Structure 1
Amino acid sequence: MKTNRKTNNRRSFIKKAALTSLGISIIPRHVMGQGFIPPSDKLNIAIIGGGGKGYSDAVNTWNNGASNIAAICDVDWNQSKRLMDKFPNALKYRDYRKLFDDIKDIDAVTVSTPDHTHAVIAMAAIKSNKHVYVQKPLTHSIHEARMLTEAANQYKVVTQMGNQGASGNGVKQMIKWFDEGKIGTVKKVHVWTNRPVWPQGIETPVDKPALLDGLDWDTWVGPAKMVDYHPLYHPFKWRGWWNFGTGALGDMGCHLMDPPFRVLGLGYPTEVESSVGAIFKKDWTPEYLPESCPPSSRTQLKFPASAKNASEITLTWSDGGLRPFHPDLVPADHPIGDNDSANGVIMIGEKGIMTCGTYGRSPKIYFNNGELLTFKDTEENKLPENGHHTSWVEACKDGFGKTKHKALTSSFNYAGPLTESVLMGNLAIRSYNLRKPKGNRFEYPGRKKLLWDGNNMKITNFDEANQFVKRAYRKGWTL
């Protein structure tokens, strides 16, 4: 049916009137983008993914009424019920595409969905000229991270990834210490986590339980390969499946690799190598589970010298409860990283060792002469819990390229390369168990050091690994 301009204007009026009746003052984004302060001084935000982190992202961007939560979109309203109850006047959707079609004057969007849908939703928002906050990891694939970074600059929208520790005072103190030369040049870094804390290294489910009431499974699967619903996928456990999640490294890498990445000024890695924990049900016969992320893994990334650090850097990642041992400078009875040593970072410099816990908390330096320097992120000096979100909201009001936007700690210009480096580890982990028949056994050609051309997003010495750089989208879905 042909639609004339008069009809479009009437529809636009109805939408704006509906929002106004909910107490939501819509300020067109083109006004916001020019840096003008609206009468309400409030950003109109759509929340996509309202359960789990989606709830805290919404509450932190709302910030006790400093912003308007104009719409909530979730494929499973049961998961987002708590959020919908808190904001009963927000418009409610199951499909983000319909939300973007219906409401043109939303200023900004938070994306707190499973990893596999981050890119398609964020890209749709960017192309609709909406500012975007995306939970970590930024994307499911290296290619998606590069495309989002480029699109954000092309469309001039304000972006932030949800690795909130990047805005913490602990990380800022570590940068200050390093820039003052306190530990000197760094050559080795260790990063580790106790994740996964969900099932991984398990067989793909074959039973078909009843679909949860009210769950739009087709939209939940989105661009991924279609599989039947199973509680081992939704909610939360999707993290352990390559079809949807990015495993332990994807979950915590953007938090824990952020301090060394930021402190040392790292860029694209040049090489990567992984080893993966095996699972045995029969003697001498490891299980082959290509769809499930492994129960544990270790990954080594090499980074070239940077403008901040004169030496090449070897970064070793461990997960599944594996962690590095105490360096000689750290006393035997001191925890490394967090108080329970479950997660942490160690940067080994020529003058001493800098350590921190999750989100850059409680940084310390153990000097070669035996002295200890500590920083306590106390109530007096720590940032507010919503500081990472609030800085994004204020930057959205300020506009792309303005002072507040440039001050963001995890805009896509930073978060994109960080995410690519994190996902390089997953590329090596997935390559590790690629196998080919050889007689009555298998050979594993991907168990080697993989050489990376960051500018061209390509492994140069094992072409089969490049299948993990970019994923194939299900029919009907595009970036």
Structure 2
Amino acid sequence: MKKTKDLTRREFIKAAAVSGIGLTVVPAKVLGGTGRAAPSDKINVALIGCGTQALKMLPDWLQRPELQFVSVCDPNRESYDYPLWGKSKGEKKGAPGGREVGRARINEFYAENAGKAAYKGCTAYADFRELLEKEKGVDAVFIMTPDHLHATVAAAAMKKGIMVGSHKPVGNFMHETRVVCEMAKQTKIPTQLFAFQDPKELYVLKEWIRQGLIGEVKELHRWTNRPMWPQGSPYLPTNTPPIPDGFDWELWLGPALPRTYSPDYTHTVFRGWYEFGAGCLADMGYYGFWKDWRLLNLGMPVSAEGSASFTCEIRDFRSTWVENHLSYPHAATLQWEVPVNGGDKMMEVFWYSGGIRPRTPEFLKKEGKGMTQEG
């Protein structure tokens, strides 16, 4: 799969100079070795968030010679209680996560890569604000926190002239997203959303559409099998055990409203709650809609409509609809009216979650014949 061109340290320094950020760079000829990236050619990265997604992506990042991971941050020190989404293999404990897990994996990689018994160059923090204040050599942060912290960390990093790479979404609420995007525009700090993909098939399909080979595209439909986490509850969690040792609940909450600790909020199950996550659309919609918008040259939606599943309870012998202001519904359908090619022509865009999907067109249905056993 083709990716966008990655930002090198030299490109970052050039962009930083435009935005008035002062950087001291040691010439590569002084510190560089043959066949190796000099320290001044590397981007010093701080990993903010050391949960399952960060640890899954970390091995590939560590292989990148232009990146040097110098620090990690997570309010959780270390635990093995992160829910797993994959098929069960009989394990009775969760996945590992936390800053010490992230630090250990980074140190182990660099030690092995250098042929040394140990490496201790990666620092660890519970509070990202402390990291940004003390780690003066950080060039970029990779944000892998729960959704509700993305915008807060991104804004804090940009204020210090630090490049931002973030997993989706940009922010948990629309106003957060607007603030972060405006900051990036005004400061000219290099930023990247990790959900971006640029497959060659996209350009093939775009050419087919341009030549009229598949006819006029009138509607766009996307769907997901999410949620794979609990959501839809109109009530706060009743599971409120003591805060685990090594876990800073207040730091995890960040800008969110204070509340009693519950494991039903944290780690990989945060996304179902309005306060902490952006639901199925922000989890999976990004991947597809990013490509669709480029493929069809779509603009900003001019209207939106939605419908969702709901819950009823029997109260005083009467069926009563339960209002839910806390979590996303079990299933939903969204529809937007979107301008095409910057003109007055509109396209209907649909999104489905929770097992809902559009009806399969007749010409795509199977003929009902058995498949052959050969070739």
The alpha-carbon distance between structure 1 residues 306 and 216, as it changes in their structure 2 partners (threshold 3 A), is same
1:294 aligns with 2:329: yes
- Gap regions ≥5 residues in structure 1: 1-25, 335-479
Q: Which amino acid aligns with 2:101?
A: R
Asked if structure 2 preserves the Cα contact closer than 8 Å seen for 1:126 and 1:157, the reply is: yes
Deviation at 1:152, TM superposition (A): 1.1
The answer to whether the 8 A contact 2:299-2:340 is kept is: no
Alignment match, 2:102: 83
Deviations 1:231-265 (A, max 9, x none): 11111111110010111122111112222212111
Three-state SS of the structure 2 residue aligned to 1:256 is: helix
Give the counterpart letter for 1:162 in structure 2. F
CA deviations on 1:323-357 (whole Å, 9 max, x unpaired) are 111123323369xxxxxxxxxxxxxxxxxxxxxxx
Which consecutive aligned stretches of 4+ in structure 1 deviate over 4 angstroms post-superposition? 29-32, 34-39
Cα distance in 1 for residues equivalent to 2:353 and 2:298 = 21
Matches within 5 A, 1:3-82: 30=13, 33=16, 38=28, 39=32, 40=38, 41-78=41-78, 79-80=97-98, 81-82=100-101
- Give the structure-2-normalised TM-score: 0.75
Cα 1:160–1:172 shift into 2, 3 Å? farther
The number of equivalent residue pairs is 307
Q: 1:173 to 1:127 in 2, by over 3 A?
A: farther
Once the 2 structures are TM-superposed, how far is the Cα of residue 34 of structure 1 from its aligned partner?
Answer: 5.4
Is the aligned partner of 1:221 residue 2:266? no
2:208 is matched with which residue? 177
Pairing of 1:1-400 with structure 2 (within 5 A): 30=13, 33=16, 38=28, 39=32, 40=38, 41-78=41-78, 79-80=97-98, 81-88=100-107, 89-164=121-196, 166-202=197-233, 203-282=235-314, 284-307=319-342, 311-332=345-366
Q: Aligned-residue CA RMSD in angstroms?
A: 2.6
Q: Distance in 1 between matches of 2:258 and 2:72?
A: 25
How many angstroms does 1:57 deviate by? 3.8
Q: Distance in 2 between matches of 1:262 and 1:333?
A: 34
> How many Å apart are 1:207 and its aligned residue?
4.4
Matched position secondary structure for 2:45: strand
2:372 is matched with none
Larger RCO: Structure 1 or Structure 2 (Cα < 8 Å, ≥ 6 residues apart)?
1
CA contact (8 A) 2:240 2:263 kept: no
Deviations 1:124-154 (A, max 9, x none): 1111111111111111111222221121122
Q: Assess, with a 3 A threshold, how the Cα gap between structure 1 residues 102 and 31 changes in structure 2: closer, same or farther.
A: farther
**Aligned partners of 1:199 and 1:240 also within 8 Å:** yes
* C-alpha distance in structure 1 between counterparts of 2:64 and 2:165, whole Å: 18
- Write the distance in 1 (CA, Å) between the matches of 2:340 and 2:262: 46
Query: TM-score scaled by structure 1?
Result: 0.60
Identical positions, percent: 31
Equivalent residues of 1:46, 1:109 under 8 A apart: yes
- Return the letter of the residue paired with 1:237: V
- The residue number in structure 2 matching 1:19 is none
Matched to 2:192, the amino acid is Q
AA partner of residue 189 (structure 1): L
Instruction: Flag the 1:64–1:269 CA change in 2: closer, same or farther, 3 A.
Output: closer
